[in-house]
Amino acid sequence: MKIFISADIEGITGVTSWASTRYGGKDYETACRQMSLEVAAACRGAIAAGCQVVVKDGHEDAMNIDADLLPRGVELIRGWSNDPRSMLGGLDQSFDGALYIGYHSGAWTNTSPLKHTGEDYLFNWVKVNGELASEFTLNSILADQMGVPSLFLAGDEGICCDASAEYPGIVTVATKSGVGNATWNRHPQDVIEEIERKVAEVLSAPLPESRPMADSYTMEINFKDFQRARGASWYPGAEVIDGFTVSITEPDPWKLAIARMYMTSV
């Protein structure tokens, strides 16, 4: 079996402030190390189940994971390839499942001080088919289009609850919970051990199929700045909902991913 791991940092245990997620910030190196260790735990679990593993570093400049902390044989994708798949860059139909490590609550929630969906400085929120969307929402739909089921997610308690509601059968590990502008964190080693154990269990059982696709997908983006919304409105097929919100409907998620990449850049 071939498994794809998409990794972020805001859902890693101990990570509480934006400074910890950025170069030169307080505890950034500690956050990167723990991100690497949680990813490594998922890799070990997958390898124990007989899987080939590819990891995509999906945070900031996508060069946060220490490859030396990963098991031998794992392939690591660093940096960005200007691919609409973004945090799933490298995923295709050859993979048997997708895992998500370090994922976080979506922009509309109050379950993490680091809540956001996509580019935090650009968007207030994103909706897909009328429902508020997290990065897991966007990525798992794109994986579904490629026939790749989303099998496991580790991150804050809020995203674990949302992922379980959106994707029945997905297995989760909560690394922490959000309390106002604080986080209540589990011990790093406890998180590492549970990720490794649960990933091995998931991948040792018969794998489910991906979710059925919807007939079409409508994405709404509410921008922080009306000028950004105006720029996004020029995308072919885009509809202006109000001065800050643009909507687009497409038959498949791939075209939505392309539209979102354009709307981020204008």
CATH at residue 230: 3.30.1360.130
Task: Identify the pLDDT of residue 266.
Answer: 79
Verify that 175 and 249 share a domain, yes or no: no
CA 238, CA 86: separation in Å to the nearest integer? 21
CA 140, CA 39: separation in Å to the nearest integer? 18
Q: Is 209 among the domain residues? A: no
Verify that 184 and 254 share a domain, yes or no: no
**What's the pLDDT tens digit per position in 94-136?**
999 999 999 999 999 999 999 999 988 899 999 999 999 999 9
Verify that 224 and 195 share a domain, yes or no: no
Verify that 88 and 10 share a domain, yes or no: yes
Q: Is 210 among the domain residues? A: no
Model's pTM, two decimal places? 0.97
Instruction: Specify whether the CB–CB gap between 95 and 2 falls below 8 A.
Output: yes
CATH at residue 69: 3.40.50.10780
E-assigned strand segments in the chain: 2-7, 52-57, 75-77, 97-103, 123-128, 131-132, 150-155, 171-174, 176-179, 182-185, 217-223, 239-242, 245-250
Verify that 65 and 183 share a domain, yes or no: yes
Verify that 98 and 52 share a domain, yes or no: yes
How many Å separate Cα 113 from the centre of its chain?
A: 17
The residue range of the domain holding 242 is: 217-265
Total structural domains within the chain = 2
